[in-house]
Amino acid sequence: MSLEHRIDNVKRIGLLKKKIQQKGFVRIIETHNAISGLIANDSTVVLDTGEQREFDGFWESSLTDSASKGFPDIELVSLDSRLETISQILEVTDKPMIVDGDTGGDFNQFEYMVKKLERAGVSMVIIEDKVFPKRNSLEAGTRQTLEKPEVFAEKIRRGIEIKSDPDFLVVARIESLIAGFGLQDAIERAELYLKAGADGIMIHSKDADPSQIIEFAKKFKSFPPELIKEKLLICVPTTYNSLTCSQLAGYGFNIIIHANHNLRAAYKAMEDVCKQILTYDRTAEADEICTPIKSIFAKVGFLSVKEKDKQAAQKLKSKLKVVIPSAGVNELTRQLGKPIALVEINNKKLIERQLENFYNCGLDNIVLIRGFGAELFTLENIEYFDNPDFEKTFVLESLFKAKEALTGSFIYINSDLIINESILRNLMTLEKNPEVDVAVVVDNSFQYHKHNIDKKLDLVRTNKGSKIDPIRLIADNFSEDAEYIGKNIDSDIAHYEFIGVAYFSEKGTQKLHQIYNQAKTANRALHESSSFGMNSFTDILQELINTGTKVKVLKTYQGWMEIHNQEDLEIAKQIYA
């Protein structure tokens, strides 16, 4: 991730010399833009011997920079354009960079190049002893005109004199073998350039036979000790690639540059993808040779940004959470092949209808527990938890899969409900009522339902409830305490139906945890449940009541709907736009 690679320019400039001093030689890889820099920066392998191997720095190549911009390698791309590419690579990496400076221009231009590269944080510039405008060295039959050695030596001297950081290195690249002038010409030029102050020599060859390169290295080591003291020897084994970096280091090379491979690899991959898409007239086949988008997101730091956004948003979210267990499966969800929360009612998912109401009330801190069809949940800005045992456990166990999110106060709501905003707003008033730790939303209209036919309802009996006129219900909210709650209460003595919505204060949440942990430790079934894993939400509510917690009731008369079966779904489509 790009922000992980932070380093100041002064420290970066000295890294190259430091790495060479520590390791004896360094492996350098070509980069031509920021993403290639990131990949090169982070690439690492662990060998069978246990050795961890990585690249030590980057080669900002004139060839690959020009080609990536669609231009030939003839010093056509300006220094300012090159500097922009260099800046983009350095911005996202933390390893040293060597820049291919082409011929360096004339003496004055090279001085400005040195200052600009040094200021940019580059560790080394390498210029070649050709006449401007140069031609790329690797293409056979290309005219190669070398600069007079005395003229090029003066250019090196001017570059050395203008630099201000002793760790910034100016290196001479010798093209004698490329131009066909032979080994002796290369040796003579090397000696002259070293006397002019060059910090090192790059010897270049396009021959697949490395014998001349090896011979040059032997001759280099035979120079007077004072001439090659702390001087570097550099090679680019693009053509003589049968030799390993370790072997080349054994011949005395301090820097081994792999000069164009990332661009060549990218070119081939892009060409192959284009041909695949054209051949099959779709992208399915091409996907097999493409990097997943998520890998790119991870590399450039987007996933980190997303996580930071999530953390920042979490801090700004409503203090009151909404927790929705949506792990279960029933006949309707199996038939539809999706969780009830994702069932569509007139082209809008049930969960989207819930979220709309939550957001309208200022509730944006949403927790959802998935199980059946978990992979189908793709909505953003929801904190997800999973219950992989949804087939064997019931709602209470699902709820506590989100244990870490059950802090502070929260509203519990079943995933199969559509409720009016007014119910939510009445519950939210409890945030300012320290006397209420737990409250459940109940409805007096259950007497008109098909109790024990469609499903067994969760009924509630309170300490002073009565089947009164529904008009009075809103007037005395929270005046009653629930005494019994569950499916086995006789409807003749029940006062209300629990609709599947509840409120817990911070203290109420703590009590909820306490009761759950005690039951879990004892592996105890609560009340109407047959086992601990099958404990329902109403089971733990009854346990809270039995252990002394007052569970208040918020009374409503209709204003909500539960989607339990296909008939409910059809009715909902008629009611909700």
Over residues 56-79, the mean pLDDT reads 94
The residue from 233, 262, 291 where one domain ends is 262
* Residue position matching structure tokens 């944080």: 121
- Residue 197's DSSP bridge partners are none
**Is 526 within the bounds of a domain?**
yes
* Residue position matching structure tokens 């760790």: 167
**Is 224 within the bounds of a domain?**
yes
Distance, CA of 185 to CA of 204 (rounded, Å): 13
Q: Do residues 241 and 153 both lie within one domain?
A: yes
Which residue spans within 468-577 are E strands per DSSP? 482-486, 496-504, 551-556, 560-562
Q: Do residues 235 and 350 both lie within one domain?
A: no
Distance, CA of 395 to CA of 532 (rounded, Å): 11
With contact defined as beta carbons under 8 Å apart, do 135 and 89 qualify?
A: no
Q: Which domain holds residue 417?
A: 317-569
What DSSP designation does 451 have? B
How do residues 339-361 score in pLDDT, each as one tens digit? Answer: 999 999 999 999 999 999 999 99
With contact defined as beta carbons under 8 Å apart, do 538 and 528 qualify?
A: yes
**What CATH number has the domain bearing residue 423?**
3.90.550.10
pTM above 0.75, yes or no: no
**Is 577 within the bounds of a domain?**
no
10 Å CB burial of residue 131 (0-12, 13-18, 19+) is: middle
Q: Do residues 326 and 258 both lie within one domain?
A: no
Provide the 10 A C-beta neighbour count for residue 373.
Answer: 20
SS3 86: helix
Q: Do residues 221 and 74 both lie within one domain?
A: yes
Domain count along the chain:
2
- 144 vs 536, more confident: 536
Over residues 190-202, the mean pLDDT reads 98
With contact defined as beta carbons under 8 Å apart, do 468 and 445 qualify?
A: no
The residue from 216, 239, 262 where one domain ends is 262
Q: Do residues 58 and 166 both lie within one domain?
A: yes
The two tokens of residue 365 are 């801190």
The residue from 246, 262, 278 where one domain ends is 262
pLDDT score of 144 more than 80: no
Distance, CA of 364 to CA of 359 (rounded, Å): 6
**Is 74 within the bounds of a domain?**
yes
Distance, CA of 29 to CA of 278 (rounded, Å): 32
**Is 238 within the bounds of a domain?**
yes
Distance, CA of 497 to CA of 451 (rounded, Å): 10
Please name the helix (run of DSSP H) or strand (run of DSSP E) that holds residue 305, with its range, or none: helix 302-316
**Is 270 within the bounds of a domain?**
no
Q: Do residues 334 and 479 both lie within one domain?
A: yes
pLDDT of 499: 95
**288 to 16, 107, 267, 388: CA distances (angstroms):** 38, 51, 17, 30
Catalytically active residues are 73
Q: Do residues 224 and 346 both lie within one domain?
A: no
With contact defined as beta carbons under 8 Å apart, do 107 and 127 qualify?
A: no
Q: Do residues 245 and 323 both lie within one domain?
A: no
Q: Do residues 324 and 251 both lie within one domain?
A: no
Q: Which amino acid is at 70?
A: G
**Is 300 within the bounds of a domain?**
no
How do residues 403-442 score in pLDDT, each as one tens digit? Answer: 999 999 999 999 999 999 999 999 999 999 999 999 999 9
pLDDT score of 505 more than 50: yes
pLDDT score of 317 more than 70: yes
pLDDT score of 75 more than 90: no
Q: Do residues 453 and 341 both lie within one domain?
A: yes
With contact defined as beta carbons under 8 Å apart, do 440 and 500 qualify?
A: no
How do residues 307-316 score in pLDDT, each as one tens digit? Answer: 888 777 777 7
Q: Do residues 324 and 242 both lie within one domain?
A: no
**What CATH number has the domain bearing residue 169?**
3.20.20.60
Q: Do residues 420 and 495 both lie within one domain?
A: yes
With contact defined as beta carbons under 8 Å apart, do 94 and 8 qualify?
A: no
Among left, alpha and beta (phi > 0; psi -120 to 50; other), residue 420 is: beta
Average pLDDT, rounded, for the chain: 92
Distance, CA of 264 to CA of 64 (rounded, Å): 9
**Is 268 within the bounds of a domain?**
no
Nearest to 57, CA basis, from 91, 21, 12: 12
Please name the helix (run of DSSP H) or strand (run of DSSP E) that holds residue 442, with its range, or none: strand 438-443
